[in-house]
Amino acid sequence: MPTIAAPPRWSAADIPDQTGRTAVVTGANSGLGLETTRELARHGAHVIMAVRNLDKGADAAGQIRAQIPGARLELRQLDLADLDSVRAFAAGDFPVLDLLINNAGVMMPPLTRTQQGFELQIGANHLGHFALTALLWPRLAGAPAARVVTVSSGLHKRGAIDFDDLSYTSRPYSPTGAYAQSKFANVLFGLELDRRLRAAGLPAASLLAHPGYAATNLQTSGPTGIIARLGGLGNLLFAQSAADGALPQLYAATAPEATSGQFIGPSRLGEMRGAPKVVRAIPAAEDPQVAARFWALSETLTSTPFSVGS
């Protein structure tokens, strides 16, 4: 894996001109997705805001346009917890895509099922994004140097894939365990996509990012009870801003020196906050045999073949 560190104190001001690039950002109406959309638009990109709730998306787009007159934004509906919605989104009219940021996520809710019956966190955080990337791949492959950025979490370090019971149908449900599994899945996917791109000799890039501890509604909109209360308190006392939390994925998406296979996270306090730098996943998440097995399972569960060379 590449180990060149990001430059010190990299900020949104260092984003190069994005004029002529088209990006899809999932979960673009709030938190990290909103900040990512704002900065890409500020630097000239045409951003397709993939949002579950179009009214909230319209509010977010209006906020950005008020700050950035002439921002090139487009709203489209996408529910990553429903594979039919993913297919409908991907079947829309798209130009060649230069950038896909798999940002949207859900964190530690009570046991909930997707439309297809998967546990919500593995379903929305991974399977929905896997299918979306596969279905949009022809548009990405047509770009001269497309990038796919998949947003994980430092909590992937507590995760593993339970191949026998991915969706908690027989084992006791753990909101934190399911979240860690889904973020571990994000890392498996991002690194395996990089391997397949390299093997096919393609110029596209697959990168990973995580925000550290950033103050977003993720900590309070999904969890309930004590987890939600602790998340709200942590946002007040310890978290960096959503704008700072979005810097790793913005670096991964735009920095000329960022390369396929890199994992970008914050540089200080145990990767909790600070300017972007190259970080490492846990060794288990870098296992190519586990990743290939999980890729095949993801194809089966989503009924979505994904061959990067086709």
Q: Which ranges in 106-224 belong to alpha helices (H)?
A: 120-121, 129-141, 175-200, 218-221
Cα separations in angstroms, 51 against 61, 92, 215, 278: 11, 14, 20, 29
Q: 263-268 and 72-77: which strand pairing?
A: unpaired
Reading the block at residue 81, the tokens are 């917890």
Whole-structure pTM value = 0.91
Closest CA to 60 of 85, 41, 34, 27: 34
Closest CA to 31 of 211, 232, 223, 184: 211
The residue annotated as part of the active site, out of 168, 173, 179, 251, is: 179
* Mean pLDDT within 99-111: 96
Residue 1 confidence (pLDDT): 43
* Residue 2 banded pLDDT, cuts 50, 70, 90: very low
The set of residues, in sequence order, having a beta carbon less than 8 Å from that of 96 and lying 6+ positions away, is: 22, 139, 140, 142, 143
Annotated domain spans of the chain? 18-299
Architecture per CATH, 18-299? 3-Layer(aba) Sandwich (3.40)
Cα separations in angstroms, 196 against 43, 79, 114, 174, 308: 30, 27, 28, 32, 7
* Mean pLDDT within 122-141: 98
179 noted as active-site residue: yes
Chain segment 157-213, per-residue pLDDT in tens: 999 999 999 999 999 999 999 999 999 999 999 999 999 999 999 999 999 999 988
